[in-house]
Amino acid sequence: MDATRCGLPQFERRYEAMPPGTKAELHAKFHVYRRNQVREYIVWRVLDKEVDWFILRQGRFDRLLPDADGLLRSEVFPGLWLDPEALVRGDLARVLAVVQQGIASPEHAAFVAKFQQGARK
């Protein structure tokens, strides 16, 4: 289904796991993703034990910082939450629990309802 036909902004997300030392490659991808209006971009730098979440704002990628709970929360997909520390340490039970909390959030329910409303038109 085309998101723009149901009244929602067109969005796209990219995920990658990258080895260390790929700064130049990441920089080049930023240009491609910016040109193609990828609104959020997540990089899991596995060997560096870091997760970077970038958001396209005013034509440039800004790093999304964890909130007071240590979570990264999508601005494009309400209710998409990630605990980057749990991901890095391999605590997949915690990662899944956070994803489930986000999906159960009121903002995710509102997002789904808006999407479903637009799909009915």
For 13-33, write each residue's pLDDT tens digit: 555 555 555 666 777 778 888
Q: What percent of the chain has pLDDT over 70?
A: 79
How far, in whole angstroms, is CA 104 from its chain's centroid?
A: 17
Q: Which of 7-16, 28-37, 43-52, 86-95 has the lowest mean pLDDT?
A: 7-16
Q: Nearest Cα to 33, choosing from 6, 52, 54, 10?
A: 54
Residue that wins the pLDDT comparison between 110 and 33: 110
15's tokens: 């995920």
Q: How many domains does the chain have?
A: 1
Pair 50, 88: CB distance under 8 Å: yes
Q: Would you say residue 6 has pLDDT above 80?
A: no
What is the span of the domain harbouring residue 23? 3-120
Q: Nearest Cα to 74, choosing from 61, 55, 59, 92?
A: 55
